[in-house]
Structure 1
């Protein structure tokens, strides 16, 4: 762990302490929210608990204001910055989507170019739709055996920056959903030599800051900003996130940009969860993530003994498009047994009562944490053994072998999204320019984004994913039978 934090400071939790004091003061509430500490909605209070409803409060002087923090939230942000080794940390309650968009929109305006891999989360391309920046895509490496996109090769990044010296920033996914890491230090060093900001979507990398022997974190690598999805692997409530700022970034400007889209009614349930999760990781992160890695490594070894399933790991590292691997990720390839990842996902949920993070056409991902129990890890392994025995197939012909398709970008996302459009049946869209998003969720990485040419391969992929049971989202047509295309 490369961060030297002030342990005495990390024992504090200013938002939590302020809420405890607020509860003890028994203040009479003539403000919002209207449930008045839960008294106005008994069923909700019975479900969530009185303690929860009593601290679901609005901004007030003793509790500070998320849009312009000057007291307890400000102090909590300063302590978080110390924990993550950042110059500043902003509490985000609109999800890491808001963190990613805040990063992009604080350094890019309409017409500015930003370099990014195409396998970004939809939030990044959404930011381009809103602010009008122009994407310069670097195709990630692709492992055809596993059917997954990898990280960005440093050489490809250097080429993109050299060819587009006017680019304002580069966005890096680190790690990817599957645990693949790029050469973050190399990218930061080269980008900074060319006055390009480095923004890191670190949604799945909270543990990089607190665990031992982890891949390098964004702040340690010298990145300018990072979006950290604290709720994914850090223990806070869903939708809570940190936006970290490094040296040379004006956090007050970043906050102004975030305030364009983030709620003015920040949830104190989310805020206090960030405060306490940060405290927990600062004080106990080493042992928590040591246990997480032990669980993941054990599961990986046992699943690989089953045959046909392949739980991949650090053996993929080639110090290029796979510069490092996140050891907490349990990513499992399923195609060799004749099942798509989403089919295994469905079987685990429907037949064995096990909920994993997601499945795609070739793999599934199970999120492992110290909150798991050894018995549950064994149950997952045993269920996979049963699935292989009962549902495995020898014939894998006709299965898609990859999920990443190089895009043909014809129009900037903003122009395509706001253009006149017409709806066409999916099979009749080949050759057209897409005017909306099409993606499987999770993970929320677009198959198609606004402004991209629709090809036979893309249509076949969409129909295949739909047939296999993937949840397709992004289209105006809720049944996903039609796609809106640009009406030229």
Structure 2
């Protein structure tokens, strides 16, 4: 194989060659380069549906790559400072699950913060591993969960020396980072793997003065959402592996759940986006940092809002902060974050990433423009002027520490019964309840339901949070373990 050059995009180049070959298709997909579905072709365009093709020798095969996909993975590994990289077309959910399934099997213990994305707990349902939760501190003024303290991780290791892995958010949705290098060193001294959920940290690999990336910190596996801050198509991600990981085994794990019909639209978007970041990433993300810092200053000058940044860093539970995350606390204008989220969308045609009980997040990345940020700033100023009210009686706490009674797998598959929401206090939940986004469970299978949690669920519903997870879509009922 030729020497690696980040100017290459081998999957994209192979598709371009294939497009010129005028191959007659007697394979899937059945739309046959769009001819069988003209409405879809008109909507997406001939070029797009023309490369929506099946795996074949000139285009390689994601399940067992030997040519252009393998070269694209090697280029990704080099760009992201990893020993191995895997192209993922099932979203970062698939990457996270493959990461956990590679490290854990039934009965193994894994140390992790409770404020993880549901995909992590989904993986525990699948493999039967036992979570050892490090309950993060909460920033009481903002009501958000923070990172894991090294001292908390040390205590968890001391109490669970048989744990096989530690999972770390790098960063959290709100931009909070734990001391990943110290956690990695600590874990490796105790022969434990370190897994990083880096869904919101793609830019760490290409930015100056940003928190350390998982691979540079020495983590063993990291799931990276290229489609979030990296510019690729939705549902495309990377799974990165360090030198101590067997890439052949990881590939086998990925192939347990990932499709055998990988979309070449997603694969080529990963290829092209990796090339873009490798060649221009530092310049791109410096622009994003500068834009976020400008927006932060303007929003804080409005009054009533707090767009937080580096000043939160305490070198412990907030070891570092990702300044590209434009998270804004809203409670001081008497509005829940979800209320500001809804107003921005419904009244100002501005769609931000999420709103929770006390905060909103405007996700800034490579495609944002100064004029769009100005529009957001103006809208926030007008919302404060038009809708500000007294904040008395508003909930402030975003994170509620759970009590784990059973493993996620046992609770999920156990015999269960459905009860009215308010009748479930004291029982053990057998399903998920979460606001999405961000998709961090309020309740996960195996956790005890408390009055405080029920109050939070009803308050979040009342404020307009999009609640997902339970079998009952109205969340009037919850499934609980029968007899427990």
What TM-score comes out, normalization by structure 1 length?
A: 0.98
Equivalent of 2:340 in 335, 341, 344: 344
SS across alignment from 1:82: helix
- 4+ runs deviating over 6 angstroms: none
Aligned residues: 482
1:474 matched to which residue of 2? 469
Looking at structure 1, the residues matched to 337 and 194 of structure 2 have their Cα atoms a distance apart, in angstroms, of 33
Map Cα deviations across residues 270-289 of structure 1 (whole Å, 9 max, x no partner): 00000000000000001110
Deviations 1:113-141 (A, max 9, x none): 00000000000000000000000000112
Does 2:199 align with 1:200? no
Structure 1: 5+ residue stretches without partners: 1-5
Deviation at 1:370, TM superposition (A): 3.1
Of 404, 409, 412, which residue of structure 1 is paired with 2:399? 404
CA distance, structure 1, for counterparts of residue 428 and residue 158 of structure 2: 29
Distance 1:424 1:309 in 2: 40
C-alpha contact 1:7 1:283 (8 A) present in aligned 2: no
Give me the whole-angstrom Cα distance separating, in 1, the residues matched to 2:380 and 2:354.
15
Deviations 1:48-84 (A, max 9, x none): 1100000000000110110111111011100100000
Does residue 245 of the first structure (1) align with residue 241 of the second (2)?
yes
Task: State the Cα distance separating 1:7 from its structure 2 match.
Answer: 11
Q: Is the 8 A contact 1:10 1:279 kept in 2?
A: yes
| Residues in 2 aligned to 1:70 and 1:112: alpha-carbon distance in whole angstroms | 33
In the alignment, the residues of structure 2 paired with residue 433 and residue 227 of structure 1 have an alpha-carbon distance, to the nearest angstrom, of: 31
Per-residue deviation at 1:42?
Answer: 0.8
What pairs up with 1:54-453 in 2 under 5 angstroms?
A: 54-393=50-389, 395-453=390-448
The answer on whether the counterparts of 2:4 and 2:75 sit within 8 Å (CA) in structure 1 is no
Is 2:231–2:366's contact at 8 Å kept on the other side of the alignment? no
Residue by residue over 1:160-202, the C-alpha shift from the partner in whole angstroms, topping out at 9 and shown as x without a partner, is 1111110000000110000000000000000000001000000
- Superposition RMSD on alpha carbons, in Å? 1.0
Larger displacement relative to structure 2 (236-245 or 419-428): 419-428
Task: Give the conservation status (yes or no) of the 8 Å contact 2:229–2:366.
Answer: no
C-alpha distance in structure 2 between counterparts of 1:370 and 1:447, whole Å? 31
**SS of equivalent to 1:480:** coil
**SS at 1:221's partner residue?**
coil
Distance in 2 (CA, whole Å) between partners of 1:319 and 1:7 is 41
The separation in 1 between residues aligned to 2:463 and 2:374, in whole angstroms, is: 27
2:25 is the alignment partner of 1:29: yes
Distance 1:18 1:74 in 2: 12
Relative to the length of structure 2, the TM-score reads: 0.99
Q: Which moved more, 1:140-149 or 1:368-377?
A: 368-377
Counterpart-to-counterpart distance in 2, 1:310 and 1:261: 42
Whether the 8 Å contact between 1:83 and 1:282 is mirrored in structure 2 is: yes
| Structure 2 residue matching 1:25: 3-state secondary structure | coil
Determine the C-alpha separation between the residues in 2 that align with 1:443 and 1:389: 28
**Match in the other structure for 2:452:** 457
CA distance in 2, matches of 1:486, 1:397: 37
Query: Would the aligned equivalents of 1:117 and 1:139 in 2 still touch at CA under 8 Å?
Result: yes
Contact 1:419–1:486 at 8 Å: present in 2 too?
A: yes
- 8 Å CA contact 1:174–1:202 kept in 2: the answer is yes
Contact 1:64 1:70 in 2 (8 A): yes
In the TM superposition, what is the alpha-carbon distance from 1:374 to its structure 2 partner? 1.1
Give secondary structure in 2 for the equivalent of 1:68.
coil
Structure 2: which 5+ runs fail to align? none
Report Cα offsets for 1:392-412 as digits up to 9, x if no partner: 11x212111111111100011
Q: What is the CA distance between 1:8 and its match in structure 2? A: 6.6
Any idea what SS the aligned residue of 2:257 has?
Answer: coil
